[in-house]
Structure 1
Amino acid sequence: MTSQGVRWTADQVLALAPDAPSRKAGSKLGAAGPWSGTGSTDEGEVWGLCKGSGSKPYQTVVDLSGPAYKCSCPSRKFPCKHALGLLLLWSAGPSAIAAGEPPEWAGQWLSARRAKAAEAAAGQGQGGVQGAAAPADPEAARKRAERRAERITAGATELEQRLSDLLRGGLAAAERSGYGMWEEAAARMVDAQAKGLASRVRELGAIPGSGPGWPVRLLEECAQLHLLVQGWLHRETLPPALAATVAGRVGLPAAAAPDAVAERDAWLVLAQYDTADARLTTRRVWLHGARTGRTALLLSYGAAGRAPELALPVGLSVEALLTARPGPAQVRADLGERLGPATASTARPEGVSPQEATAAYGRALREDPWLESWPATLAAVVPAPTPSGWQLTDPASGLALPLTPRSRSSSHLWRLVSLSGGHPLTVFGELGHRGFHPLAAWGAEGTPGGDPGGERGGGITALW
């Protein structure tokens, strides 16, 4: 342990990798062989020179308080393989990288980061007024909002007609038409400034090729889209909270709550994983507040082929400010200032039974019928196979939740099974209408998967 917090494990370092090739390449650089001029400070700064294919070694420096990375290599990935290798070397223990003063090339970047952080803190201390934009003309903003609402209404009306034509002609037409039909419809929704509708239309295009049972899945998603369109077209008759949810799902930005207050807490990083499509890489980071008991979701985005910059060490705790997004069934939050280094923590979300988790998801659906998943922590469950697939079973009640098709077909499932060894585990994940998607697990002390909050931040095993 040093003043920058707990020393990360190799798994926590590799969880920061933007993709599998980077993880593999970084692992090869996690030994002392290619490194020279390495050093670290108690403030959580690590640097080193990595031998590459050229005549000059790559200069790599990492600020663990971010974490943030700087490397002279041409890679556009963050972190690059050299930063991952340097962190893996550092994670091996104090003997791997000695303490020292950073060289000039590393010190300049680190000093610039410290100065920027101090400037941001000073701006917040003055009420955040520095650099604030002048207030917009309220009347002009109202007119812009009206024009956009009219365009969305026109797009929603067109989409409703397209759905009616599809159902009237039969779902087989979707398979014959291919993806082009949906891409053209999505483009029309983009023109109507309804990006939420566009995103859902694009998802419809992948269903006909998703395997047996696709007509049922396509019908389900069309029904959800129809419900959203009707909600927008009749939004004046909805309760204010539900009308706001419909507007957000269609694609309108949520209005910031005037009384929103940032919550300070020690936020345990429960899980972090990426999903990608042809346009965007989305990173989901789940946090749990030790004092507030709140579970929050951070979303970060990167252009296609590039990982998002936000990366937090799974299994460790970060003291930070979080501001909740408005909405009755909203778990999303925005990450504010980080007030300390990542440290080990024994705090864990309180687990519930499968029945309680399902009831909580149902209550959230009442507030937001288009909610695809809800965070849930299942206490004392055992992964077990059934003729219809794997599930998480509560031995006390006999109740169980099926794993999602994506979870059942993934190699990550075997990590959960081996971690359990037939013993009950507490499992955190996302519960949706297709089942439970496990993201992290831990056990009681003395069982497989035990050691909650050990000195190296152990206890929580990332499953995805």
Structure 2
Amino acid sequence: MTQQGVRWTTDQVLALAPDVPSRKAGSRLGVAGPWSEAGSSGEGTVWGLCKGSGSKPYQTVVDIADATGAAGPAYKCSCPSRKFPCKHALGLLLLWATADGAVPDGQRQPPDWADEWLAGRRKRADAKGTSDAAPASPPADPEAVRRRAERRAERVTAGATELEQRLADLLRGGIASAEQTGYGLWEETAARMVDAQAPGLAARVRELGTIPSSGPGWPVRMLEECALLHLLDQGWLHREQLPDALAATVRSRMGLPTRAEGPAVRDRWLVLAQYDMADSKLTTRRIWLHGAESGRTALLLSYGAAGRAPALALPVGLALDAELTAYPGAGQLRADLGEQFGAPAPATSRPPGIRTEEAASRYGGVLREDPWLDSWPVTLSEVIPTPDATPDTDGWQLADADGSAALPITPSAASRPGLWRLVALSGGAPVTVFGECGHQGFTPLTAWPRGAGEAVALC
């Protein structure tokens, strides 16, 4: 994750935090006071002792550039926390990122307790490499695989048919009736979709159940979501009649597992954005990449159990020489990270941008291929964050520098601290902004100042 002599920024370190409390606690430990015997090998290892409430300090070590070539750093701390990275690992990395001499670089060898853990990691990495080189196990029986797929398809079809009946009952009774039935009925319907092995339908049903009484205009939003659910159901029930790419998209939206396929694309991939979405059971990390030569945009997904950060971590502002393999489906940008040809390094370029009108047009175009798409990644060039001039609103927008057009910033993004970071970065001057453009507006994720300057994460 680093090259010798190159240290991360504070934003890059905080992007590794599993949650907001860990980010705050780690920030408090990112000062020299509680640390002793801190050091760095200059080759991707940082260690130190952190004074805690007990008599013995916590032993903390971070392997940033691990020998396996994996994308994420590894952490070891003697504290009892079950979060990865813990606040001590975050604090140590923040102290190291300041480059003020508090963590000497390459001054000495790691202490025995850190060296022992690192040696164990190298040994396991070598063992894994040997295991990977061993002959692969015999492939599964194709006939058994086909029968399992058919049984699951039958369950999904039964779930889609049941959901169609539920939607028909709702429309016959009137959208207003959803306000009286409450959320419980939708949660029960979602559970039925889980039983039918259609997690994609279950997620959309749960979202549908949150719409009634959610504010002015909720019946319209309810009808829109019902229409999208009906379209997805019909797409599944008539999937044999769809083009292959659209049929693959329908299977993906239903929640059926798919695998990355096709030729791997090697490029120098710029990390555009990284952010997490969490619920009570799972943390999903979304990482957007842009290929410097191919011009392609790709999405990496990584998952972690509740309270644990996903393993894959690529802080904004880095670039990596690697291969990506895309998933099938029309309008799909998800890819798998393959072989990496060197450690990520600070990016020296930024993606090309477009105007706001073209961004909206691109989103509208991809909806033809994937009607269930909430947003599309775009980079806007020469835009200025300004208050929305629409009467009776307190929202914000990104306006082209010449004032010809603008995109509204989504309400959720307008309430985050990242908006004020963007406003401060702009200072009234045009900036380059990467984000997601959708039916609710534009969500800024990363920005670059006019002229030269490093990427600034906004999420």
Normalised to the residue count of structure 1, the TM-score between the two structures is 0.91
1:46-105 Cα offsets, whole Å, 9 max, x none, are: 011111111221111111123221111111111110001111111121621122211221
Matches within 5 A, 1:241-390: 241-257=245-261, 260-385=262-387, 386-387=389-390, 388=393, 389-390=395-396
Pairing partner for 1:393 from 399, 406, 412: 399
Paired residue for 1:223? 227
Q: 2: distance between equivalents of 1:296 and 1:418? A: 29
Residue type matched to 1:112 in 2?
A: G
Deviation at 1:119, TM superposition (A): 4.9
Residue type matched to 2:401 in 1?
A: P
Matches within 5 A, 1:95-244: 95-98=101-104, 99=106, 100-120=108-128, 130=134, 132-244=136-248
Deviates more, 1:99-108 or 1:427-436: 99-108
**3-state SS in 2 of match to 1:318:** strand
Residue type matched to 2:25 in 1?
A: A
Deviation at 1:336, TM superposition (A): 2.7
Pairing partner for 1:90 from 75, 87, 96: 96
Preserved contact between residue 5 and residue 342 of structure 1 (Cα < 8 Å): no
Deviation at 1:397, TM superposition (A): 6.1
Paired residue for 1:456? none
Mark the CA change 1:175 to 1:306 in structure 2 (over 3 Å): closer, same or farther.
farther
The answer to whether residue 415 in structure 2 is matched with residue 412 in structure 1 is no
Percent of aligned pairs with the same amino acid: 68
Preserved contact between residue 5 and residue 343 of structure 1 (Cα < 8 Å): no
**3-state SS in 1 of match to 2:210:** helix
**3-state SS in 2 of match to 1:436:** strand
The answer to whether residue 435 in structure 2 is matched with residue 429 in structure 1 is yes
Normalised to the residue count of structure 2, the TM-score between the two structures is 0.92
Residue type matched to 1:208 in 2?
A: P
Mark the CA change 1:335 to 1:185 in structure 2 (over 3 Å): closer, same or farther.
same
Deviation at 1:161, TM superposition (A): 0.3
Q: How many residue pairs get matched?
A: 446
Mark the CA change 1:94 to 1:384 in structure 2 (over 3 Å): closer, same or farther.
closer
The answer to whether residue 31 in structure 2 is matched with residue 31 in structure 1 is yes
Deviation at 1:40, TM superposition (A): 0.8
Deviation at 1:113, TM superposition (A): 2.6
Residue type matched to 1:411 in 2?
A: P
Structure 1 residue runs of 5 or longer lacking an equivalent are: 446-450, 453-458
Paired residue for 2:68? none
Preserved contact between residue 315 and residue 460 of structure 1 (Cα < 8 Å): yes
Mark the CA change 1:324 to 1:168 in structure 2 (over 3 Å): closer, same or farther.
same
**3-state SS in 2 of match to 1:87:** helix
Paired residue for 2:456? 461
Preserved contact between residue 264 and residue 319 of structure 1 (Cα < 8 Å): yes
Q: 2: distance between equivalents of 1:309 and 1:255? A: 19
**3-state SS in 1 of match to 2:236:** helix
Q: 2: distance between equivalents of 1:359 and 1:120? A: 47
Deviates more, 1:60-69 or 1:320-329: 320-329
Q: 1: distance between equivalents of 2:233 and 2:335? A: 26
Q: 2: distance between equivalents of 1:4 and 1:208? A: 55
Mark the CA change 1:5 to 1:377 in structure 2 (over 3 Å): closer, same or farther.
farther
Deviation at 1:285, TM superposition (A): 1.1
Q: 2: distance between equivalents of 1:111 and 1:292? A: 38
